[in-house]
Structure 1
Amino acid sequence: MLDDLDIKILEILQDKGRTKRSEIAEAIEMTAPTVSERLNKLEDKGVITGYYTKLDKKRFGYDITTFIMVHMESSKHYKTLYGKVEKHPNILECHSILGEGSHLLKVIAKNTDELEKVLAEIQSWPDVNSTRSFFVLSTLKETTKINIK
Structure 2
Amino acid sequence: MKGKEYGFVLGKFAMDEIDKKILTSLQNDARVTVAHLSEQVSLTSSPCWRRVKALEESGVIRGYHAELDPRRLGYDVTAFVSVMLENHRIDVGDSFEVAVQGIPQVVACHNVSGRYDFMLEVVATDLEAFGEFARNVLRTLPGVKEIYSSFSLKSIKHQRRLPLP
TM-score band, normalised by the shorter chain?
over 0.9
Q: Give the aligned residue type for 1:145.
A: R
Structure 2 counterpart of 1:93: 108
SS at match of 2:46: helix
Shift of 1:3: 1.1
Structure 2 counterpart of 1:133: 149
Structure 1 counterpart of 2:119: 104
Structure 1 counterpart of 2:56: 43
Counterparts of 1:1-149 in structure 2, within 5 Å, are 1-76=14-89, 77-120=92-135, 121-149=137-165
| Identical counterparts, % of pairs | 28
Q: Aligned equivalents of 1:115 and 1:134: distance in 2?
A: 11
Q: Which runs of 5+ in 2 are unaligned?
A: 1-13
Shift of 1:145: 0.6
Q: Aligned equivalents of 2:164 and 2:132: distance in 1?
A: 40
Aligned length: 149
Q: Which runs of 5+ in 1 are unaligned?
A: none
Q: Aligned equivalents of 2:88 and 2:32: distance in 1?
A: 43
SS at match of 2:31: coil
Q: Which has the higher contact order (CA 8 A, sep 6+)?
A: 1
Q: Aligned equivalents of 2:15 and 2:87: distance in 1?
A: 40
TM-score, normalised by the number of residues in structure 1: 0.95
- Runs of 4+ in structure 1 off by over 3 angstroms are none
Shift of 1:111: 1.6
